[in-house]
Structure 1
Amino acid sequence: MTETKKTTEKTLRRFTLSWQLALGMASGFFVIFIIFAFVLSQILKQYYGRLPETLYQWLGITILLGGLFVFGFAFMLTRYILRPVKSIKTTIEAFEDDPMTNVRADRANVNDEFYDLVNILNRMIDRLQSLIGAQQQFVSDVSHELRTPVTIVKGHMDLLNRWGKDEPEVLEDSIKSSLAEMQRMETLINEMLNLTRAEQIPIENVQEVTEVGGLVHRVFDNFKLIHPDFIFTLDDDLTQDANVKVRQDHMEQILIILADNAVKYSLDRKEIHFALSQTTNRVEIGIQDFGEGLSSEDAARVFDRFYRVDKARSRAKGGNGLGLSIAQRLVKAYGGEITLESALGSGSVFTIRLPLQRENKNDQKLSN
């Protein structure tokens, strides 16, 4: 009953507003029309002297009909002008009631003055819904993933409360385990924040250009240094600088995630292979390991957040199942793609493809 009353009140308000605007416009037009009729009658008087009574009657009828016509025209014009405003108002009210609504302001039959406003409103709602969705997903993931470490820490605190004061070994083990879980929680939260930021990169605002070849060589050299027990190889088929419109820290983060993943899941054959190549419009980066590989079922889900092929082993290796999700979302945010080829017992190959940033003609002229 309350909703019906609200709807009725809104309809009456809109109808009243239309009539008020129409009356205002009609009054203005009507005054102009009367002035015109008065001036016309004075001109006729000068030429014909006293006007016949019938002419006054016809002037009165003309003024009345003209007033009705002007009012009707003003009312229709007002309705036309207010149509996009009504659509915008309806959209805002729907968003206020439900932030995840699918209602959007209608761009059809919208005049030029309101078209940009409608587009801006729709884009703003899309952006806000994306942020709200990311926030909801973040809260859901945090509550789910932190449940285990919090339970473990609570268990150790209970253990310390009972026997820790009198048992030095229990005290030491519980403190070590609790610190390890706290460290894992800190890492998990940082990774989840990175994942949320990766989903919200406004690529149109990114102006930084990164030269991929030099960055891949640097990451390659760093991994050779910190993993001396591995064999690292690099095939660089680039014939010129491969510039991409990606922040350098994001590009480096993607490469480190994939290289670190390759190291973690290598078995007896400790060998990692990097490859660089480019086509007319894209640069391709491949990182290959020769480890345990993945089944087709696992490969299809490997980019899902918190997905672990072997949860026990992943946790032992320090993984939270977020690294590849972060890498994929970063690559996608910059208009690229990341793919996986893998087979059990044969290792995996991750390939990143990003659009090349070409110099515009003005830059080329300046360089010449």
Structure 2
Amino acid sequence: MAAGLVAGAQGTAHAATIFVPCFGPNGGGAGLVNAINTANLNAGADTIVLSPLCPYTLNNVNNNTNGPNGLPAVSTEITITGNGATIQRNPVGTRPNFRVFLVSSGGDLTLTGVTVRNGRTAFGAGIRVDGGAALTLNNSVIRNNTANDPTPGGLAFGGGIFNNTGSVTIRNSTIRDNTAVAEIAAGAGIASGAGSLTLIDSTVRGNAATGGDAAQGGGVWSIFGNTLNITRGIVTGNTVDAPDVAGAGIVAAAGGTAQINGAVVRGNVATASGATGQAQGGGIFNGDPMTLRNSVVTVNVARATGGGTATGGGVLNEGALTRQFTAIVANVPDNCVNSGSGTGC
């Protein structure tokens, strides 16, 4: 078997530990491809161990399941112990566009001590998680991935992570410097729809959604019945820029719920460039039942540079907002604004 397999009994393969060296015939990006293929065939939970601080570079499309992917789709329970390694689409020269990871139905991927970077595709450039699948990040970084669709009317969701009705748990990790660019762009850091997204002791920073028509959720975009939980998180320095924009830091809307506890939402900027455009929610745009507890929303900005309107510099609330021991202060042009049937500001 490829890449240094240490496994159980003869016959049907059971849970295994697979070591992938940095270099050599069974190492690097090609060795990681082989290791995931092997793990997908095994019954039980497999662990893939990477070399410390090694760059595992992917050069080509491996498959086209729900868009181009650099690695085989994860369809079983796999833990990748990275030891500070990076898994990346090759950043040098002209390479095909593809995402790094796809977790398909039945897959359960845990990344520990891994950086995922430079993926490029329309939906989930770093990682895509589909229905019936789960992703857990521990002490990991998702950075410099781009969700992009340059076609007229194009959609781009989830520069870093796109959770498509699955389950995502992020602990002690950073989602940073990812982008979403299209006519309609959303969730440059994380886009999560009709599933669950939990962030614990994690940071979402410096992500940017740019739309030719609209942009939402520069940091986090939680919609379509999604369950969002943020505990002791930092959401900072994220942006949305388009003729119409909402929620540079966080969007929570369209039938879900949101619990934000012990978080800081700071320094996010929503810029509406359209002549009649709207900038709604520099820090947070809320359309769901949301609880803000023991948190701070500050120094966020909603601005209209093309002649439109800007409101809810801290929070634009169209849902049922509950505030407990939470400061919403020093935002521009205002702090917390109820809109429509919104209550709680």
Q: TM-score range by the shorter chain?
A: under 0.3
Flag the structure with larger Rg. Answer: 1
Report the TM-score, using the length of structure 2 for normalisation: 0.20
Structure with the larger RCO, 1 or 2 (CA within 8 Å, 6+ apart): 1
Whichever structure has more helix as a proportion of its residues is: 1
Give TM-score, length-normalised by structure 1: 0.19
